[in-house]
Each structure stands twice: as C-alpha cells, then as structure tokens.
Amino acid sequence: MASAQRLLFPDSRPLVERLGRDFFLNLPSAPGVYFMRDASGTVVYVGKAKSLRKRLNSYRVANPDRLPKRQLRMLGLVVQVDWEIQESEQAALAREAALLRELKPRFNRAGTWAGPRPSLAWRYGEGELWLGLRETPDVGWEMPGSEVRRTAGLRLPLARLLWWASHPGLDISALPVGWFHGMVPPEASIPCGGALPLIVENLLPLKVGDLAPLCSWIQRQLGALDRLAPFERAAVEADLEFLAEWKPGGGRVSGQSETSVA
C-alpha cells in the first residue's frame, strides 16, 4: 500500500531544493572527491567519483524504495556540497582514503578506522618553499607537533595564499596551472624569493597550532585586493577565511578552498 501511495506523489529531492538545479547542471565531469556538509558546516560524508557530475547527480532523488535508510537520513541533513577536482580516479581514491582517516565523517563506514594521519609538512631552500603531507617527520621536513591535529587540509589554501603573498603584483595568469581549480601537486613548490625568511619565521608558530602570525603576514602582503578580478578576489578571500576559521584541535577541510571556485 505504501509503495502504491508513493506513486501518486513524486519522490522528494532535498538536495535540489536546497542547492538548486543550476548546482547540478554546472558540476564538472572530472574525477574528484566531494564533501557533504550539514547546517553547522560539519562534513558528514566524503565520497570519490570518476565523474563528479554523474556521481553527485545520483543524489538528486531520495527514493525511499531504492536508498538505504542511512543514506536517506544523510540527505535530509545535507545543506552544502563541495568538491575537489583530482587528476585521475586513482588520485581521487587516494585522496578519499586520506580524508576519511582525517575527518571520520558520520555517514561513512569503510575506511574511517583509526590509522596514521597525514599532517602538513614543509621544507625550504634557495628561495623556494615546498608544502606536502607526511605521517611522520622526515629528514629535511618540518611539521606541527602530534598534539596539533587535522592540518592536512591547510596545504592547498596555504600553497595558494603563499604564492599570492610572494607575488603580490601578479594575477591569476601567472598562478601555476591547475592551482586555482584545486589541482596542486602532492608536494607543492612555491618560489618565494626574498620573502622566504619571513615565511619560514611565520610558519614556526604553526608547530604549536598558531596560524595567526602567518595569516597576518599574508594579509599585509596582499594589501588591498581591489587590483584582482572579482572571481580572483573571491578565491583569495575564501582561502583567507578558511585559515582564519581553522582550529588546531579539529580544523575543517574547506571544500570551497579546495574545490573549483571558478
């Protein structure tokens, strides 16, 4: 009887109602990972996709006869969906595994058990800074102490912001290919020139979870953002907001900062 009654009414589409039809129409076809967030901004689910457009469009209809109750409950909570573009499906799978260990989203099951957690790490030399991820300190690399958790998500916004701060007179055309859309190499190389000593100095407090000195230096370097095009300025401001909101005990990974923002 219940199934017959449902035929009289269309299945609910909570994500379409909250995100709008244009959201699904404008999704990229590239491989990547995606983040589903609740009203508080907490990531409740992380997934990977060979095609973000195809995978995320599969969530448009919340059919109670086809979807598990757990997934229906999740769709009822989600108010925001972000994504990261990856170079390949294999890269998306590896990124998903790291995010599951890092975030342990409420509605993920497989892959969320305890394990080594990668942390932001950096090394430098001859006017150049490298940002990467490490599970344990390696020779030549520096990283926050073990008590400073969830720093992996800082890598992308920091890489972009430090590049902008080191080249304040340049525009997006000079930004390394792919960085604006979240495709930053596992070990991002940033030519800093004469700014390197100040960057290294301001990175030191991050070892104990303090990003304030680095954020202040970046903002001073950037100064007025009016010289940038509106979409460039919005991207920089989103990355700055991410850093300002990050907390050493459980900072969030910002889908907007690590996603396509074009």
Core vs surface per residue 113-135: b (16+ CB within 10 A) or e: eeeeebbbbbbbeeeebbbbbbe
The pTM assigned to this predicted structure is 0.55
Nearest to 95 by CA among 262, 255, 238: 255
How many Å apart are CA 68 and CA 74, to the nearest integer? 10
11-50 pLDDT, tens digit per residue, is: 688 898 999 989 999 999 999 999 999 888 889 999 999 9
112-128 pLDDT, tens digit per residue, is: 555 566 789 999 999 99
Q: Give residue 250's pLDDT band: very low, low, confident or very high (50, 70, 90).
A: low
Contact 155, 188 (CB under 8 A): yes
**With helix as H, strand as E and coil as C, how does 93-142 read?**
HHHHHHHHHHHCCCCCCCCCCCCCCCEEEEEEECCEEEEEEECCCCCCCE
Helix and strand numbers (H, E) in the chain are 10, 6
In sequence order, what are the residues at sequence separation of 6 or more whose Cβ sits closer than 8 angstroms to the Cβ of residue 203? 122, 142, 214
146-167 pLDDT, tens digit per residue, is: 888 778 888 888 999 999 899 8
Q: Where do we find the tokens 């907001």?
A: 241
For 142, the token pair is: 């520096």
**Whether residue 1 has pLDDT greater than 80:** no
Nearest to 55 by CA among 85, 94, 10: 85
43-100 pLDDT, tens digit per residue, is: 999 999 999 999 999 998 887 767 788 888 889 899 999 999 998 888 888 888 888 8
What does residue 118 show for φ and ψ, rounded to 5 degrees?
-70, 145
How many Å apart are CA 138 and CA 121, to the nearest integer? 9
For 147, the token pair is: 């008590």
